[in-house]
Structures are given as C-alpha cells and as structure tokens.
C-alpha cells in the first residue's frame, strides 16, 4: 500500500511503516466500539469516601515523600468558546441579540463589565463603539481571543488585576502543596504559542515571586495519523504525500510518558474556579491524592510479601483486598500469585467523578475486554454503539460523569518508571468521517488520554462534588458564580 516515497515521508515525520499499517487496519475495521458491561455506580465501581479528612491528612503528611507534577493539556484554541460571538460578528444586523438566555450574545454584552478581560478591552475601544465593534475588538484586532489558546485568556478578576487560565493553574498548584515548591507544572501547548506562554510566565513570576518549575511541550509530529478514501487507499495532500492529521489528545500519552515525577495531577486548562473558591475545591484534590498514596503503599507491601518465599501466608488477604477495594477478579485465575503481581504492577489512576447533570462527554463504566474480563474505564459516547438497545440502556443508566480530575502514579511497586505506551488499548481509537479536497475520508485519532490510552491502568473512581467541575466551554461560562469573585471579598 505504501511506495518508497511514502515510507521515507513517514520516516521523516517519525512514523514507522508498521505504525501506519496498524492505523490502516483500524480504519478498514471502521469500528472502535467498546462493549459496556454496566455503568459504574456508587454501589458498583464508584467509591464514596465517608471520612475524607483521613485521606486529606494522608496527602498533607506524605505528599512531600513523592515528586509531584501537575499536567495540563493546554493547546486547545478558544474558537469554540467564542463561537456565538464569532457568528454574531459575521452577521449584518443585531438580530440574535434578542435571544436572552444565559449563553446569548445579548447576555455577553449586558454583562461585559463582569468579564475579567474588560479592563484590557478598554484600551482598544471608546464610548462610541457599538456591539459590532466590541465583538471585533474582542475577537480580532484588539484582544485577538478568537485565535489564541484558552490558557492565555484572562479568566478571573482580582483586586490586583486579572489572571489568565494559565496563571490560575499556578495558584491552584501552590494551594495544593501548601505554599512550598514540591510540585512541578507541565503544559502541553501549540508550538506557535510557546513564546506567549513563556512571556506570561515571566510576568507571573515577577508579580508573585513563585519559584515553581514550569515547562512546556508540544504534540509530536510522530503522533499524527493517516486517513483513507472510501476505496480504502491512503488519503493524500495536494503534493501527493500521505495526508497526516493531528492524532487527538490521546497522543499526549507520549508527553505524559516523559514526565519525571511520581504522582501526577491531570486537569484540563479550562476546568478552574476563581481563587475565592479554592478552599472548597482543593480538599478534594487532596482527597484523591491521599487515597492514591494509600493504594501505592498497600500495593508496595503486597508486592514485597507476594514476591517473598513465604508468599502463601499473604496471598489470600492480598487477593481479598484487591477484589473488594480495587475491582480485581481472580475467580478464573490458575496462578493466583502471578495474577496478583500482574494486577498491582501497573500505573495507577484515581479519578474524581461527579453526579451526571447531562453534560456531554465521558463517564465511568465497567467494560468487557477481549479476554472476557471486565475493568473500570472512562468511556466517551462516541465509543458506544448506541444503535444496540442493550448498550444504549447501559449508557443511559450511568449516574456519574467524568470531569477530568485525575491523580496518577506512574511507577511500579519497586519504584521503576513504567513505559506508559505499554498500557494503551490501541483498538479504543476514535474513527470519524471528514472531507478533504472534495473527497470523503475516514480519519483516526489515538485512544483518548484518559480513555483508551489509560485502558490497562489500575483504575479507581471516587465521587467528588460538582464544585470541582467548572469548565469554560462557552464565553458566558465565565459569568457563573464560580468564575466571579465572591461578594464581600
């Protein structure tokens, strides 16, 4: 299927012929659906913590024994966030200003002074500007928000000025570790904006004196993926080369794999609150971290005991703990010792889950894998064949939603760093149909970062309150109380 020029082109982009052929096989299969066994619920897969203060204290007391990092995917542009304003700006009239719901453009203009970027906007407008000019200045010639990442947008107001989403993540990290420097931060960004993030970082350090280690990475070209035409042949660009497309956020597993840390907090760039609400949200970050540390330490003890010559003294209690607390199933195993060691010798993720309020996106499920065993997975709607009544019903019975609030441990019980590429379910990719140069194509994205890319991790789901989930998907989300200063402060 590939000629010599194709193989050279792939090689120059860091993609092996074997990897490209693997993508083609998945595209031809054209089916990446998972098989849901059941939704994870509070009585079946989601942990309800009755004494959170114990785990919070555990994190405060023991986190200093681990190297911590906060990993934030931050390359996404703000185009979707401003889609209503962009649509309004392209129209000839103010017709849709009559729409008065919360997300309307009318509400944006009515409350424009409540946006953190308003003071900066004032530098580009005057009192005679109408709504068309205001929208143009926000989107293009003034602030330029239609073309920059969310991380560089001023999200929240404070007495000493506005903070970008990027800056808020630094403040949250400081609050998490008690104002010491026992945490690094890593942001994945688009290459054209690295200088902008570095400039923002210098301003923050100058203003605050933070001594945090902050670094950036970009999504590697080697994670780009190929596409197929309807006839099964590889799609090509205008130069006749193979068409390569960004591989989705699942490609960031390679970035995560390069992190030199023990415990890694993962959170999206736009899922924040105003600093006035950190006292309400940080305890739940510590809860997840403290629970993870407890699992790490118990697994280390199990590993030591089961690896010893007198393992038979410990095997039954170890298996009982792993089955009742971590969802293991040893009912069909022939070698319990070997299976216990395999089960704990994996990366670990503790994931916060909020009650389902109808938000789009992934959720927690028990999934049937190729070996006819089930495991806890975060599953996106696109991964489920909803035309099947059984699967549709299980999806609709889900009680919780994934807010992307994860704490991970990426080392083995004996302290060796895992190669995270070995724990991906490559079949859990995302396949969709697009058009290119007037032709239909099938495109593939790598298994999502917290979906298939972590499919073979040891997974624990924990219920956390809705206050921990405050994404800014649209501009007017910034008008919600969690993104505004508390009154009286």
3-state class (DSSP) for residue 15: coil
Q: Name the token pair of 124.
A: 């580009």
How high is the pLDDT of residue 96?
Answer: 59
How high is the pLDDT of residue 6?
Answer: 93
Query: Rounded CA gap, 354 and 362, in Å?
Result: 11
Query: Rounded CA gap, 426 and 248, in Å?
Result: 13
Per-position DSSP letters for 193-250, written without gaps between them: GHHHHHHHHHHHHHHH----EEEEE---GGG-B-EEETTSPBPB-TTSSBP-B---GG
Whole-angstrom distance between the N-terminal and C-terminal Cα of the chain? 65
Per-position DSSP letters for 168-188, written without gaps between them: HHHHHHHHHTTSSS--EEEEE
Cα–Cα distance list, 78 to 93, 111, 154, 241, 246 (Å): 24, 20, 12, 30, 17
Query: Rounded CA gap, 447 and 456, in Å?
Result: 12
Query: Rounded CA gap, 424 and 76, in Å?
Result: 23
- Which CATH number does 4-78+155-483 carry? 3.90.550.10
Adjacent-strand bridge partners of 79: none
How high is the pLDDT of residue 369?
Answer: 80
Q: Name the token pair of 41.
A: 């619920």
Query: Rounded CA gap, 31 and 249, in Å?
Result: 20
Pairing of strands 184-188, 68-73: parallel
The distance of Cα 304 from the centroid of its chain, to the nearest Å, equals: 33
How high is the pLDDT of residue 448?
Answer: 93
Parse the chain into domains and list their residue ranges: 4-78+155-483, 80-147
The pTM for the full model equals 0.94
The distance of Cα 383 from the centroid of its chain, to the nearest Å, equals: 17
Mean pLDDT by 10 residues, the chain (489 residues): 91 94 88 90 94 96 95 90 93 65 92 97 90 94 95 96 97 87 92 95 91 92 93 92 92 96 96 96 97 98 96 96 92 92 97 87 87 87 92 94 95 96 92 90 93 96 96 96 87
Mean pLDDT of the chain: 93
How high is the pLDDT of residue 95?
Answer: 57
Q: Name the token pair of 49.
A: 């913590």
Query: Rounded CA gap, 55 and 482, in Å?
Result: 25
Query: Rounded CA gap, 107 and 86, in Å?
Result: 15
In terms of C-beta density within 10 A (0-12 exposed, 13-18 middle, 19 or more buried), how is residue 32 classed? buried
């Amino acid at each position: 299927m590939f000629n010599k020029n194709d193989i050279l082109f792939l090689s120059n982009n860091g993609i092996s012929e074997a990897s490209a052929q693997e993508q083609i096989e998945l595209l031809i299969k054209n089916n990446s659906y998972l098989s849901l066994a059941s939704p994870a619920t509070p009585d079946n897969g989601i942990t309800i913590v009755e004494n959170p203060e114990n785990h919070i204290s555990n994190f405060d007391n023991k986190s200093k024994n681990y190297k911590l990092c906060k990993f934030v995917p931050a390359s996404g542009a703000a185009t979707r966030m401003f889609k209503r304003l962009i649509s309004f700006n392209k129209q000839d009239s103010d017709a849709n200003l009559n729409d008065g719901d919360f997300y309307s453009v009318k509400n944006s203009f009515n409350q424009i002074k409540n946006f953190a970027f308003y003071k900066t906007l004032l530098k580009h407008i005057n009192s005679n500007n109408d709504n068309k000019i205001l929208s143009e200045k926000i989107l293009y010639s003034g602030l330029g928000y239609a073309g920059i990442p969310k991380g560089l947008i001023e999200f929240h107001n404070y007495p000493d000025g506005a903070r970008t989403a990027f800056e808020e993540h630094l403040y949250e990290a400081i609050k998490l570790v008690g104002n010491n420097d026992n945490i690094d931060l890593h942001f994945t960004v688009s290459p054209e904006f690295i200088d902008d993030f570095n400039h923002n970082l210098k301003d923050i350090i100058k203003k605050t004196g933070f001594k945090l280690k902050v670094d950036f990475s970009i999504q590697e070209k080697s994670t780009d993926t190929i596409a197929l035409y309807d006839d099964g042949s590889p799609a090509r660009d205008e130069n006749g080369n193979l068409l390569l497309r960004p591989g989705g956020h699942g490609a960031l597993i390679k970035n995560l794999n390069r992190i030199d840390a023990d415990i890694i907090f993962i959170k999206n760039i736009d899922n924040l609150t105003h600093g006035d609400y950190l006292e309400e949200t940080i305890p739940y970050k510590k809860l997840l971290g403290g629970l993870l540390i407890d699992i790490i330490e118990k697994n280390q003890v199990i590993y030591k005991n089961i690896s010893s010559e007198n393992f038979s003294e410990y095997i039954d209690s170890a298996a009982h703990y792993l089955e009742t607390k971590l969802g293991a199933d040893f009912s069909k195993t022939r070698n319990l010792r070997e299976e216990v060691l395999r089960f704990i010798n994996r990366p670990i993720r503790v994931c916060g889950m909020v009650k389902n309020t109808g938000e789009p996106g992934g959720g927690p499920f028990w999934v049937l894998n190729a070996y006819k065993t089930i495991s806890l997975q975060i599953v996106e709607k696109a991964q489920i064949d909803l035309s099947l009544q059984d699967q549709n019903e299980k999806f609709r019975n889900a009680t919780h939603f994934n807010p992307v609030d994860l704490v991970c441990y990426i080392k083995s019980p004996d302290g060796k760093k895992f190669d995270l590429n070995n724990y991906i379910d490559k079949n859990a990719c995302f396949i969709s149909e697009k058009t290119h140069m007037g032709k239909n194509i099938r495109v593939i994205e790598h298994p999502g970062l917290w979906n298939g890319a972590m499919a073979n991790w040891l997974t624990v789901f924990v219920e956390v309150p809705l206050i921990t989930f405050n994404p800014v998907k649209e501009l007017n989300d910034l008008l919600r109380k969690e993104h505004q200063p508390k009154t009286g402060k």
